[in-house]
Amino acid sequence: MNPLLSPWTNLHGLPPFQDIKLAHYLPAFIEAFRQQQTEIHAIETNSEPPNFANTIEALDISGHLLRRVSSVFFMLTSAHSSEAMRAIQSEITPLNAAHESEIYTRTTLFKRVDRVANLSRVNLDEEQQQLLTETHKRFIRAGAKLKKADKAEILNIDAQLATQQTRFGQNVLNSSNQFELLLENETELQGLPLSIRSNAKREADARGHKDKYLFTLSRSSVTPFLQFSARRELREVMWRAYTNCANNDDALDNKAVIANIVGLRAQRAQLLGFASHADYILDANMAQSPTKVRALLDQIWQPAKERAKQEVADLQTRIQRDGKNDDLAPWDWWYFTEKIRAERFDLDSEALKPYFQIDKVRQGAFEVARQLFGLQFTALDPLERPALYHEDVEAFEVREADGRFIGLFLTDYYMRPSKRGGAWMNSLQKQSSFDGEVYPIVCNTCNFAKGAPSLLGLDEVRTLFHEFGHALHGLLSKVKYQSLSGTAVKRDFVELPSQIMEHWATEAKVLKHFARHYETEEIIPDELIAKIQQSSTFNQGFATTEYLAASYLDLAWHGPTLTQTTAETVTAAEQAAMEDLGLIPEVAPRYRSTYFQHIFSGGYSAGYYAYIWAEVLDADAYEAFKLNGIFDAQTAQAFRTHILEKGGSVEPMVLYQRFRGKEPTVTALLQGRGLT
C-alpha cells in the first residue's frame, strides 16, 4: 500500500510521515495526475450547459489527491531533503508543471469556463464572483486563448522553467552545504561571544569535526560571525563565501541557469502578449505594472541612500578610532555597526539573547494571538501524537476561546543541512468549507541555531513573529473554496499579515510577557526595552538600501532589457544594474543573483518588492492599533474579519479599505524606518 494514496487516518488528518518512503512519491504523483485528468474529462464531457457549479466549482475541487501528495513532497524538498529526494524532485517537478499547464490550456475546458464567465453573475455571492474571475484569468494567463502552436510552446517553456528553477534551488542548497569555515584556536575565535562559540561547537560536533567550531552559510551563522568576529580576514572569507554562493564556476554555478530562466520567462511573456515577464507578473498583482512598483521604490530609495551614506561616514570614523587605516568594506559593516550600537544606545545584541529563549518567544507569539483573537495553542505530546518528519518538529492544536477546533500548527525552527536557507510558511492542508469542513494544517519553518538552550537574536525574534503572522493567515481562513484560502492572495498582499505581526514583537507589554532570562526567569528590564525601542531605526539606511537594491535587481532581470543574457554576462549585468541605481559600494544587494531564491526558484519573480509594498499596508494598519490600543478588541476583530479570514476571496485593496476605512500612504513606513 502506498501511504500517500491511502486515506489518512492520523489525528486531524496529519500525513503518515512515518510510513512514507522515497519510492512512494513518483507512483503517487502519477496516480494523482491520472485522477485529476479523469475529473477534468468529466467536466469537459458534462452534457449539461456549463454553469458555475458544474464547471467552476467542479474545477476547484478537482485534484484533491494531487494537492495532498504535493503538499507533503514539496514541503519536504525544502525542509528535509536529501540527494535521493532531490533526484526525485528533478523528475517530478517538470511532470507536475506540464500537468498543470496542460489543464489550463485545454480548449474544451476553457470554452466552458469562458462561457460561464460571460453569463450573468447576479446569482453569485462575492466569493463566487472572485473565484470565477480568478479561474477565468488563470486560463488566459496560462495561454488558453493562444493558437495551438503557441500553446505547445508555452507547455514546453513551463516544463523547462520547472526544471531550471528546481536546479537553481538545489544548486544553492548544495553550494551552501559545501562551504565550512572551521576554526579551532582562541586567536581565530577572537571577539566571538560564548553563545556563538557554543552554537558553532555543536554544529561542528554534529558534522563530525570534533573539538572545532563550524560556521556555515546559514544566515543564523553568517550574521553573528560578521557582527562579532574581530578577525577581519575571516570576516572577508565569510562574506565572500556567502555573496558568491552558487557563483564559483563549478558544477553548482547558477549563472547559466539564471540566463536560461530569464530568457524562458521573457519568451513566455511575449507569447502571452506582455512586454516583459515583470509586466506579466504584475498584471495579476495589486501593483499592476512595473511603473507603479518603481514609483513606490523611488519614493524610498533616495532618503534610504542618503541615510546609508551617513552610516558609511559614521562607520569609517569608528574604524579610525580603533587606530586602523582600513577603508570600510562590506565585511566590516556588521562588525562596526555592532560597536556603534553598543556605544550609542548602550545596547549589546548578545546581552539581549538570554531573554529570548526560543520556546518562550513562541509562547509570546501565542499570547499575542490569544489577546487579539482569543486563540488557544496546546502542544501535542510527542509520545501520543503521530510521528512527524523530523524530531525538531513540534505540533500544536489551535482552538477558539470557546474550545472549537480551528486547525493544527507545526513549527520546525532549527537549521540543518537538509533544509534550505531562510524562513517560510507551508500549508499541508488548506481550510475550505465547500466540500465539507476542511481544517488547516500549517507549518512555520526557520533556520535558527539549535543550542542548549536555543537563544534568539532580536532579528530572529522578529522572524519568528513574522512567520507566525503567515500561519495565522492560514489558520484563521474562513472561505468556501480552497483556491482562495488563507495565503492564496495577490503576492504583494500576502506579507501584510506577517509583517504587521512583527510590530507586537517589540512592544513593551509583549516583551514583558515572554522575554524572561533563561537562567533566572527575570523579566527583561525596562531599560533594555527602552534601548530596543530607541535603536529601532538604527542602521535603517543599510537595511532599507540592501533590500531595495535586491528589489530593483529583480525588476532588472525581469524587464525587457536582459532577455539575451548569457552565463558569461550575468555578473556584468548585475553590476550594471547596481551602478545604474547608484548603490554605494560598501553595500551589496540583500541577495545577489546566483542565490536569489525568492525570484529564481521561489514565487517572487518580479515580486520581491512585495515586502516593501506590504510594509506600506502594515505600517498604516498598525497605526489603527496604536490609536485604539494594541490589543483593542474591536480593531483586532476588524483585522481578523476583513483581512485574515477572507484569504483571496475579495480584491485586497477592497479588504484593506474595509478594515482601515481608507487607502494607505507611505508616510507611516518612512516614519517607522526613521527616513523622514
Catalytic: which of 134, 467, 502, 574?
467
Spatial distance between the Cα atoms of 154 and 159, rounded to a whole number of angstroms: 9
CB proximity list for 167: less than 8 A, separation 6 or greater: 90, 257
Residue 222 is placed in which grid cell? Answer: 553568517
Q: Which of 445, 275, 297, 464 is nearest to 369 (CA)?
A: 464
One-letter amino acid for residue 81 of the chain: S
Provide the sign of the torsion angle of the four alpha carbons 85, 88, 94, 97, taken in this order. Answer: negative
Which residue is associated with the grid cell 503567515? 470
SS3 394: strand
Spatial distance between the Cα atoms of 46 and 40, rounded to a whole number of angstroms: 10
For 547-578, the DSSP string reads HHHHHHHHHHHHSSSSTT--GGGHHHHHHHHH
Q: Which of 212, 223, 206, 229 is nearest to 450 (CA)?
A: 206
Contact indicator for 439, 408 with CB cutoff of 8 Å = yes
Residue 404 is placed in which grid cell? Answer: 472549537
Provide the sign of the torsion angle of the four alpha carbons 327, 328, 329, 335, taken in this order. Answer: positive
Spatial distance between the Cα atoms of 204 and 182, rounded to a whole number of angstroms: 8
Whether 467 is a known active-site residue: answer yes
Burial class, 363, CB count within 10 angstroms (exposed 0-12 / middle 13-18 / buried 19+): middle
Spatial distance between the Cα atoms of 606 and 38, rounded to a whole number of angstroms: 35
The count of other CB atoms within 10 Å of the CB of residue 271 is: 17
Structure letter (DSSP) for residue 643: I
Angle at 472 between CA 470 and CA 474, to 5 degrees: 75
Contact indicator for 483, 134 with CB cutoff of 8 Å = yes
Spatial distance between the Cα atoms of 556 and 606, rounded to a whole number of angstroms: 9
Task: Enumerate helices (H) and strands (E) in the chain, giving the number of each.
Answer: 27, 7
Contact indicator for 443, 412 with CB cutoff of 8 Å = yes
For 487-534, the DSSP string reads T-S-TTTTTHHHHHHHHHHT-HHHHHHH-B-TTT-PBPPHHHHHHHHH
List the catalytic residues: 467
